[in-house]
Chain A
Amino acid sequence: MNRSVALRHLCWKEARQVLPLIWMQLFLGLFFQFLVLFQRFGTFTPRLLLFAGMPSLFALGVGALLVAQEREQRTLDWLRWLPVSAVDIWRVKLGVALLALAGVWCVNLGLLALFWLPSGQALRSAAWLGTGGWEYVWPLQSVYFLLAGFATAWYFRSTLIALLALLPIAILPGLLGSLWLTLGQRFSWVRPAGVAFEPGVTAALTVVLAAVFLALGWRGARKALGPEAMPTRRRAWQIGSLASGDDAPLWTQPPYEPTSMLVWQFVRQNQRVLQWLGVLLLAALVLHHAHELSLVLILLATSWLGVLSFQGDTLQERIGFLAERGVSPTRVWWTRHAVPLSLLAVHQVLFLLLLPKPLLQDAGFQDAGFAPRLSVALVLLSVVGLLFVYGASQAVGWAIRSATIAAIVAPVLAGGFAAYGLLLFQDFGTPPEVLVLLGMLPWLLTWGWMRRWMDHRLGWGFWSPVAGVLVLVIVGPLLPLGWDMARQPGMPVELRQQLLEEVSASRGAIEAQELRITYRPREESLLQVPGEERRTAVCHRSELADALERFEQALLADTRPLRFDKATLRILLAEISLARMAWERQPDSEEMGQRYGRAMGLLGTLIERWRGSDRLIDQDGADLGEMGLVHELSGSDAERRLGRELYGRLVQLVGDQAGRNAARRRALLISWADYRAGFRRGRSETLPLGGHSWRGQSAAMLYAANPYIRRRAADYLTWRMLERLEHPEHSRDASRIRELAHYWQRPALYYGLGPGGHYFRADDPQQLTQPSFALPGTQSPRLSPGGQWHAGWERRGRELSDAWGEGRGRITRTNGAI
């Protein structure tokens, strides 16, 4: 025998065996790199984590693939009979694995360059990962994982058990490093000053442990590849059972029912792995204070329970035993899931019953009032999440025959799809019920094709549905969005042309200015609020008067149109109310009268300036101002208080429906035209429409970032707004109101539709008595785009104006009613 030829052939065999793992991690790497494209954090960290993580994943699995799987499949027995020494077999396996690992690092470097370089993102945001010594630790750790993985694979016959045993070993360098750090904090001699601590110590520990596991691996290999020896010493429990007298053998007892029998078979077949996974779940319970670690352990255990449900029967085609005897596929299916799901259920109950309060407190939920609701939400979320992970993993274990590949791929794929689901929910606006339906697909796949799987009929009829489900899960959630996008209505072309021409003709050369009432409180005006750290400004009368004075002068100095400011309106309306109330207490006070008249005049001027603006939001603000004016002008003695001239000016202002609508129309069209002109890729998400924040009628990122769709939606919305402006009866059409509210992403309630809508739309004169129109936050309900058009206050404005014009006198208000 030519030894070099033999070794070459051995290398070829090992390389062929390791190829599926390489393809797997390449596929996963590509999948996650694409997924990272959608993340909006803008940092480099996820890509670097993938770059470092994928080879580590490979290193964790290669030992199980090349050794444990061969032991399970008995092909190692055949290898042992070849005239090749155990040393050569061990060397070749290890050598090929290390070479493959180097190759995987290179491939991931290529992927990183492919996805990162075009983005131009800086490395500095992930400096702690890629510099300062850590760039050497990552490859070193992957070698350590590989050696540790080989060691566990030589010692444990089962692939899953070998991987499970690898978990605590994999974090050993980190644990020991943390211990070193702790000791260093207590004893300074442990940590010399000036030493680069973290990466150096971790690297040193990794090297030492790698050498240890290399030696252990060789020892295990020698034993596994040598002659098999029967144990000469019995374990204590075996001696005990012999001493007590064996129970009657199982086969002398009556057989169980078929379902119970299948459950018995599943438990007996997988009892070792179930025990290890039980330990993993217990560890997650014990380590609940370390949230991230606990969560990782739970997800890993859940995923591997899913893989186990079918993998145990895949080995050596054991499932054929049941297939040949015509055992019902449905019965087999759910007996495979009964035990893992029961284990998960018990763990969940323990986790949520025993630990909700400390868990919630640790997570920062201190408020006892919120805790019960959050517990229910937490329960639902955790159950759904775990079922999703389990479901995806059981499909992976069912489709992939190799236990090693399934065990590696399943947690990663399940986690990836969970992240994808979150992305779909948050950024693509996919309804949660759609996500739940898609989460059920892996269950339906394995259930529906169970017989084919049991019969080992793995042709097109098997793989087509697997591929179909995969495509459906990835693409399916995007289909409703795509359909909506494709059906997005726009504006008739002729109308668009006509309106754009109108805009060109009506656009003025003067741009509106920003001007608001401001006051700067003096130090002594700041009040310490009990129970709070900050100090609150207290506005004194004199300060407000000064502010109003300055504001008035600024208005006189610059006659340009103004941008609407909520705070300014609020201050002015409050000033008007206060001035009126003060005057009512001192009706003979000339000062009070001047104060009141001045404020009302200022409001009228503001409204005129706002009306002159070409932004939609300024028109809506002007509506709010006019509503306040109507409220004041409707009061008794308003004319007497204001004087005929000022009163006449103001009633004409609020009665000028034609002028108001013309200003609205102009502002609407110019806002729309500016939106179309200013729309550029990358700015689409944040571009306001007429000053109102607008992301389109869908919160989905895909929608928001699509310029074509956004433009069409803006056209359609403007068209509908124009119709609303020109046809007052549309303000009472519920379907039109709903459509408008949907496009503006505001509740229909803000447009007066539904119970309580009258609080937001000023149809009822009673509502005008409330001085404050704005709520905290970016959206004011009464400031909804076009929300106050054709409301009751306009009618009253016309009545006031008509009455003034006809000289019939004023409409009085008694007890709040007009």
Chain B
Amino acid sequence: MSDVISASGLTMRFPGCRALDGVDLQVPSGTVFALLGENGAGKTTLIRILTGFLRASGGTCRVLGYDPLREAMAIRRRVGYVSDAPPLYDWMQVGEIGWFASAFYPPGFLERYRDLLRRYELSEVVKIRRLSKGQFAKVALALALASDPELLILDEPTSGLDPLVRRAFLESMVDRAAVGKTVLLSSHQITEVERVADHVAFLREGRFCLIRSLSELKETVRLVTISLADPLTVLPPLDGAVQVLSQESSGRQRRWVVMGFPESLQRSLAVHPGVIGVQARPATLDELFTACARPRGKAPETSSCEVPTA
């Protein structure tokens, strides 16, 4: 499976801050790749670099085999992009803007656009400035999808959409991936990402702290809850192979989000003096997101976030 997006050592410095700090990324073709991170993590900066709207301070990247800096036009013609604040001509009607945009794409755009409008139940005669936030988002999505691009880059695409449309949209993302198209999705809607994403990447303070396929994450990441007789009980150091992503203490309970937590370790912890019981279950993506988003000051005893591997 070839990579649709590949980036190596991407760095972006703004006055007073480092938005991206040596980011490596490979997005395989025919997948839904979710980009997660808290506000200000660098997601939009990364997307703007990939689409050629920003020049990286360092590193290289290629999108669909093109250099975003030198061949941005070629990328934009083949990529469907919905930014976090899409600029639309508010004086145009909904139908007009699709008709206008169809001039810049191969035939079939207008028919697909109008079909999407019908599915989203949007009137073609309303001016864009009269649309609600959700309707505005639908129009932006329809414009991006109508060109049937090889790669779809979506920055908070479902913000403002009603649940029905959101579900339909997410299902369409899965369908796209199934026919070999690629979706790069940046979102805060963790539950939605969990439903559709094939790969997940967590971005924190300009660096990826975790890149894994969703299935692998579900298999390896556990939420471990340890009940203690005494809150001051000291637990034994963990095996180096176990990586604690976050830990939380609440009274006589310790809650860890860990990667690679074998049952043998669970059993040995359970019999440790002062430990009443140990429960482990697969962590949700939301819990994993929270664990990755915590500042390093609250990092667990043994290790920090894992450096992503291919």
Contacts and interface: CB of A to CB of B under 8 A. Distances in A.
Interface of A: 249-251, 253, 255-258, 260-262, 264-265, 268-269, 316-321, 323-328, 451, 455-457
B67 to A, nearest CB: 14
B229 interface: no
Contacts of B95: 249-251
Contacts of A451: 72
Given A251-B110, A455-B52, A261 B75 contact: no
A251 B96 contact: yes
A326 B75 contact: yes
B101 interface: yes
Given A250-B99, A258-B103, A321-B101, 12 more contacts: A250-B95, A251-B98, A255-B110, A261-B100, A265-B89, A269-B89, A317-B87, A321-B87, A321-B88, A324-B81, A326-B104, A455-B52
Contact of A249 (B54, B77, B92, B125): B125
Nearest to A264: B100
A457 B54 CA distance: 7
Interface string B135-164: 000000000000000000000000000000
Nearest to B53: A455
A261 B103 contact: yes
Contacts of B90: 316
B126 interface: no
B104 A325 contact: yes
Nearest to B88: A321
A255 B102 contact: yes
Contacts of B98: 251
Contact of A251 (B76, B88, B104, B114): B114
A253 to B, nearest CB: 8
Nearest to B72: A326
Among A253, A257, A455, max chain B CB count under 10 A is at A455
Contacts of B114: 251
Nearest to B114: A251
A328 B73 contact: yes
B194 interface: no
B178 interface: no
Contacts of B89: 265, 269, 318, 321
Nearest to A456: B53
Contacts of A327: 104
Given A255-B103, A258-B103, A457 B87 contact: no
B102 to A, nearest CB: 4
B72 to A, nearest CB: 7
A419 B105 CA distance: 47
Among B53, B54, B95, max chain A CB count under 10 A is at B53
A249 B105 CA distance: 20
B122 to A, nearest CB: 12
Contacts of A256: 103
A325 B82 CA distance: 10
A319 B92 CA distance: 14
A250 B96 contact: yes
16 contacts: A250-B95, A251-B93, A251-B110, A257-B103, A260-B103, A318-B89, A320-B83, A320-B86, A321-B88, A323-B76, A324-B87, A326-B72, A326-B73, A326-B74, A455-B52, A457-B53
Contact of B124 (A249, A255, A265, A324): A249
Nearest to A329: B73
B298 interface: no
Contacts of A455: 52-53, 72
B13 interface: no
A248 to B, nearest CB: 11
Contacts of B294: none
Contacts of B88: 318, 321
A40 B3 CA distance: 70
Nearest to B81: A324
A328 B110 CA distance: 20
B232 to A, nearest CB: 51
A321 B101 CA distance: 9
A324 B72 CA distance: 10
A795 B188 CA distance: 104
B55 A457 contact: yes
A265 B104 contact: no
Contacts of B102: 255
Contacts of A268: 91-92
Q: Please provide the 10 A-B residue pairs with the shortest distance between their CB atoms, ordered closest to farther.
A: A326-B76, A320-B87, A251-B99, A261-B103, A251-B95, A326-B77, A326-B73, A255-B102, A255-B103, A258-B103
Contacts of B54: 457
A326 B125 CA distance: 26
A323 B87 CA distance: 10
A325 B76 contact: yes
Interface in B42-57: 51-55
A318 B93 CA distance: 15
Contacts of A317: 87
A484 B54 CA distance: 45
Among A253, A261, A325, A455, max chain B CB count under 10 A is at A325
A326 B54 CA distance: 14
A325 B77 contact: yes
Contacts of B104: 258, 261, 325-327
A262 B110 CA distance: 17
Given A249-B124, A251-B96, A326-B76, A269 B91 contact: yes
A317 B124 CA distance: 23
Contacts of B99: 250-251, 253, 255
A260 B55 CA distance: 32
A211 B32 CA distance: 65
A544 to B, nearest CB: 87
Contacts of B81: 324
Interface in B9-38: none
A318 to B, nearest CB: 6
Nearest to B52: A455
A318 B129 CA distance: 13
Contacts of B110: 251, 255
B87 A265 contact: no
A262 B125 CA distance: 21
A555 to B, nearest CB: 87
A255 B110 CA distance: 8
B48 to A, nearest CB: 9
Contacts of A264: 100
B279 to A, nearest CB: 49
Nearest to B102: A255
Contacts of A328: 73
Given A261-B103, A325-B76, A251 B124 contact: yes
A761 B76 CA distance: 74
Nearest to B82: A324
Contacts of A260: 103
Contacts of B105: 325
B91 A324 contact: no
B25 to A, nearest CB: 21
Interface string B101-142: 111110000100010000000001100000000000000000
B93 to A, nearest CB: 8
Nearest to A459: B55
A454 to B, nearest CB: 10
Nearest to A326: B76
A316 B52 contact: no
B83 to A, nearest CB: 7
Contacts of B87: 316-321, 324
Nearest to B125: A249
B187 to A, nearest CB: 19
B152 to A, nearest CB: 13
Contacts of A324: 51, 76, 81, 83, 86-87
Among B51, B53, B99, B101, max chain A CB count under 10 A is at B99
A262 B53 CA distance: 22
Nearest to B113: A251
Nearest to A321: B87
A451 B71 CA distance: 12
Contacts of A456: 53
A256 B72 CA distance: 24
